[in-house]
Structure 1
Amino acid sequence: MIGPPPGAGWFARRTVTELAGALRAGTMSPDDLVERALTEAARLDPELNAFVTVDVPGARAAAERAGRELSAGLDRGPLHGIPVAVKDVVDTAGLRTTMGSRHHTGRVPEHDAECVRRLRAAGAIIVGKAATHEFAFGPTGDRSANGATRNPYRRGHVSGGSSGGSAAAVAAGIVPLAVGTDTGGSVRIPAACCGIVGLKPTHGAVPSGGVFPVSPTLDTVGPMARTAGDCLLLWNVLAGQDVPEPDISGCRVGWVAPDALHPADPRVTEAARAMLEPLPVQDVAVPDVARLRWAYQVIQGREVHMVHAGRLAAAPDLYDEEVLARLHAAGRITEEDTAAAQTIRKRVQDAVTALLGRHDLLAIPTVPILPPPLDVRSVPLDGTSIDVRAALLSLTSPWSVLGLPAVSLPAALVDGLPTGLQLIARPGAERLLLAVAARLADANQSTTTASQP
């Protein structure tokens, strides 16, 4: 279990269930919660840079409305009156949505994205727009027109990306919940880097209307929270469903060695594997899984270049140089490459489907290295120079290619920085993932408490 970062805000030590109970007991009001969030944003965000926009008047107006509804007996559910941050690639009517880019600095959408409409219908209060890697196209979170988002545990290190602002805002205790997006790891990577829970759902489980695309056949919208229980509450709203809790007794877990995909820091691997001790675990091999990394680069690259072709021709100078170079590289992917990538995807998908018939979950670290310093693009590992961007995506992107749901949960602090365990399941098994994540966190917390003098 990972404790809050130094100097964390008020929400870092309170669950959404506790907050919801206080609202209904009348010991707190939505106004109180919003003012707490605004105060913590003013205190912490100048260093973290987790937000592009903090909507002070909009949040206060929504809090007043939520309080009035609750007092009148209108209860919209467990998120009614709860502050939430929304990633700045997700449209919010009347509130600036920039995609972290200079192309859209002043863009104000007229309509909410469908996921935002569901949040508002559930009574959640949108406090502001969380920072993103430019156009959500990067795993580090330090390339944006808004500047780099910093890790709450160590300000000189990355938050992860592309949903780095969402992760940092939750980890730092500015808000209890945030919405992110995940194409190849953009919820899970920053969740691991910032020590929180982040769920990448099955592709298509949450409508993506009103969300700026990276790679439409891979893009997903996912919840981020400090605990698996809080993540579930947000997931139920985003997915528009409340599935009964599954029976996780006898849950079978297959451990995928990270080195099959990418060299890993042994301390990170050990921390992730240790989280699984309460469950029976069997080592498993996924045929050709490493080739999914290349397939992801091809499929995502081909699609992201198509999304940006017009902007690349009209205003290439407005892109960050690193993002621009990656987009140009994506433009060199051929139809033959794409066909080969699809063949690989189908072959590995068949093997993983069979594997998930014998195991309920697969497990692997979320990222193979510790969160690197800002702006650093290579780090040493066992005497070898490791490419940071490739490393961050290496253990998350293969499951995105297969469209599978996956969750990252905190494992341990190593040298004062968070590490994460990733669980992967068959399509539609998000509830199972969060239930197991909650069980593992509880077991780890009990072990930690019992070992303390």
Structure 2
Amino acid sequence: MGGFFTGRTLTGIGRDLRSGRESARGLVARALESVDEDLNAFTTLDAEGAESAARWADEELASGVDRGPLHGVPVAVKDIIDVAGLPTGMGSGHFAGHVAETDAACVRMLRDAGAVILGKTGTQEFAFGGSGDVSVNGAVRNPRDRERMSGGSSSGSAVAVASGTVPLAIGTDTGGSVRIPSAFCGIAGFKPPYGVIPADGVFPLSRSLDHVGVLAATADDCRIAYHALTGPAVAVPSRVDGPSASGGPDGGAPYGRVAWIEPPVCDPEVERRVRALFPDAPSERIDFAGLRQVFLAIEYSEAYDVHAERVAEAPGLFQPATLGRLEEAGRMPGWRLVRALRERDRYAEEIAGLLDRYDLLAMPTMPIPAPRIGAAEVGLGPLTALLVSLTSPWNVLGLPALTVPAGTVPADGGVDLPVGAQLVTRRGGESLLFAAAEHLAP
């Protein structure tokens, strides 16, 4: 049984608010009632602040002030993003008791859009990992199976949406941290192009890879939230005339040509399930292994720059897994970063060429369904590498990427677990991602 917002869309919520069937204060009350503490999605609930903001949202609507589709909507915010007056703990003992003085830029954008901040959501420590179970606050649990990983690092944001507690959440994505938990939990997650939603007031992991993104039950809700925060996207027409290579409705081409990107390693059931959504898309290959080396060199170098003093002065305050990765990062030679920056430019040219021939690239979001909490390795190999294997290239290149639910696959223990389909396009082509998602039926 899901929370109050299960099955509800931003469009429907907005209609109910404006018709008087619902109030913002009522929505906040419903959201607070829907919190399932066993899932550990929230680190802080701001009932008083949310009720005050909701009261103001109701008064504005009553007086004719309408800030748009997020007006009066409860939203959750990842706990590496500053919300004035609330703790920002980053899932780490290093920031125990730390309270933010000002709102992050993306939080100001939410407030300007009329959204109501319900509270802060759990994150992998310092957002450095994709499992969602390494934090001073404990593991965030997957609503589909509470013994499974939620995915990370925006773990609490994904679970808050997937459990129906809120219809929308904000997260960050450095190597897949919006898309990984969205796919594992069976919701949609959108990583915009690099820098479109500003990262001011977001604690950095890797400054040139960090993106702020949105998580919602559906791709259309991600679209509505993204446009509410940034303004309407400029439509980018297909470069291809004639029938869609992905089999669009009635033989048309509603979103252009799609290439299927062959995953280097993938659970056969996951690949079959996602590939079935793109039966006629031609297969292409990219150098995932080379892109991974570029990603690691940049992420590790920039992450160690952020944490070098903490590693030297208070290593015991880190979770052991985080400390181990940072110590490994500290051994990264400088020439690896120099080479990675040069190679990033080369890969950008190669993928730009691919996107000259296709409008969208499609692949699984995750090569596996959600593993059990605490797992370090699965049948396909070490988990740390698998978790970001299909998502991190698009952070390296700063391209918009969307994950949408693609059905389920059977897993051990007799449970069916969600699978995500990932769509990628050129910068400025976000409208194509959302148009494609509208036509995908798992």
Q: TM-score, normalised by structure 1?
A: 0.91
Could you tell me which residue of structure 1 aligns to residue 66 of structure 2?
75
**What pairs with 1:229-248 in structure 2 (closer than 5 Å)?**
229-238=220-229, 240-243=230-233
Paired position in structure 2 for 1:408: 403
Q: Partner residue of 1:17?
A: 11
1:233-263 deviations in Å (ceiling 9; x for gaps)? 111133x21126666625101111102xxx2
- Mapped to 1, the partners of 2:148 and 2:177 lie a distance apart of 17
Contact 1:245 1:435 in 2 (8 A): no
**Where does residue 328 of structure 1 map in the other structure?**
327
Q: Is the 8 A contact 2:149 2:372 kept in 1?
A: yes
Maintained 8 Å contact 1:228/1:437: yes
Match of 2:433 in 1: 433
C-alpha contact 1:272 1:421 (8 A) present in aligned 2: yes
Output one character per residue of 1:94-136: Cα deviation in whole Å (capped at 9) or x when no partner. Answer: 1111111111121111110010001001110010101000000
| Distance in 1, Cα, partners of 2:432 & 2:98 | 38
Q: Distance in 1 between matches of 2:299 and 2:216?
A: 27
Alignment partners' CA distance in 1, 2:3 and 2:438: 23
Post-superposition CA distance 1:19-60 (Å, at most 9, x none)? 00000001110011111100001xx1x211001001111111
Could you tell me which runs of 5 or more consecutive residues in structure 1 were left unpaired when the two chains were aligned: 1-6, 445-453
In structure 2, distance between residues paired with 1:134 and 1:434: 31
Q: Distance in 2 between matches of 1:275 and 1:63?
A: 40
The Cα of 1:314 is off from its aligned counterpart by 1.9
Unaligned runs of 5+ residues in structure 2 are 238-252, 411-415
Q: For residues 61 and 193 of structure 2, what CA distance do their matches in structure 1 show?
A: 33
Letter matched to residue 22 of structure 1: D
183, 190, 201: which one pairs with 1:199? 190
On the 8 A contact 1:132/1:161 being kept in 2, the answer is yes
Cα contact 2:405–2:421 (8 A) shared by 1: yes
Is 1:48 aligned to residue 39 of structure 2? yes
Aligned mates of 1:424, 1:264 — CA distance in 2? 18
1:437 deviates by: 1.3
Deviations 1:359-418 (CA, angstroms, capped at 9, x unpaired): 00111101101110001101124xxxx111111111111121111111111111112111
* Aligned positions of 1:441-452 closer than 5 A: 443-444=441-442
Amino acid at match of 2:28: V
Post-superposition Cα deviations, 1:126-182, rounded to whole Å, max 9, x if no partner, equal: 101010000000000100111100001000000000001000110010000000100
How many residue pairs were aligned? 422
Q: In structure 2, what is the Cα distance between the partners aligned to 1:17 and 1:198?
A: 17
Work out the percentage of aligned pairs sharing the same amino acid.
50
Q: Displacement, 1:430?
A: 2.0
Q: Secondary structure at the match of 1:127?
A: strand
Given that residues 104 and 201 in structure 2 are in contact (C-alpha distance below 8 angstroms), is that contact kept between their aligned partners in structure 1? Answer: yes
3-state SS, counterpart of residue 13 of structure 1: coil
What pairs up with 1:111-150 in 2 under 5 angstroms?
111-150=102-141
CA distance in 1, matches of 2:49, 2:140: 23
SS in 1 for 2:206: coil
Rounded Cα–Cα distance in structure 2 between residues aligned with 1:245 and 1:158: 36
TM-score if structure 2 supplies the norm length?
A: 0.93
Q: Aligned partner of 1:422: which letter?
A: Q
- Checking the alignment, whether the CA contact within 8 Å between 1:196 and 1:409 is kept in structure 2 is yes
- The one-character-per-residue Cα deviations of 1:255-297 (angstroms, maximum 9, x if unpaired) are 11102xxx210100011111234xx5111122x3321111111
The residue type equivalent to 2:80 in the other structure is: V
- Superposed CA RMSD in Å reads 1.2
**Letter matched to residue 420 of structure 1:** G
Aligned match of 1:399 in 394, 398, 404? Answer: 394
C-alpha distance in 1 between matches for 2:436 and 2:3? 27
- Aligned ranges for residues 287-436 of structure 1 at < 5 Å? 288-381=287-380, 386-415=381-410, 416-436=416-436
Shift in Å at residue 346 of structure 1?
2.0
Q: 1:106 to 1:250 in 2, by over 3 A?
A: closer
CA distance in 1, matches of 2:154, 2:431: 22
Provide the residue aligned with 1:271 in structure 2.
Answer: 273
3-state SS of 1:258 partner = coil
Deviations 1:310-334 (A, max 9, x none): 2112211100001000000000111
Within-5 A mapping of 1:127-206:
127-206=118-197
- Of stretches 93-102 and 296-305 in structure 1, the one that deviates more from structure 2 is 93-102
**Amino acid aligned to 1:258:** P
User: Partner of 2:262 in structure 1?
Assistant: 257
| Deviation by residue 1:68-102 (Cα, 9 ceiling, x = unmatched) | 11111111101100000000000001111111111
CA distance in 1, matches of 2:255, 2:393: 26
Amino acid at match of 2:424: I
Distance 2:255 2:122 in 1: 40
In the alignment, does 2:216 pair up with 1:225? yes
Segments of 4+ moved more than 3 angstroms: 244-248
Contact 1:362–1:424 (CA under 8 A) maintained in structure 2: yes
In the alignment, is the contact (CA less than 8 A) between 1:228 and 1:435 conserved in 2? no
Q: Is the 8 A contact 1:96 1:108 kept in 2?
A: yes
Q: What one-letter code is carried by the residue in structure 1 that aligns with 2:299?
A: Q
Q: CA deviation at 1:62?
A: 0.8
User: Is the contact made by 2:254 and 2:435 (CA closer than 8 Å) also made in structure 1?
Assistant: no
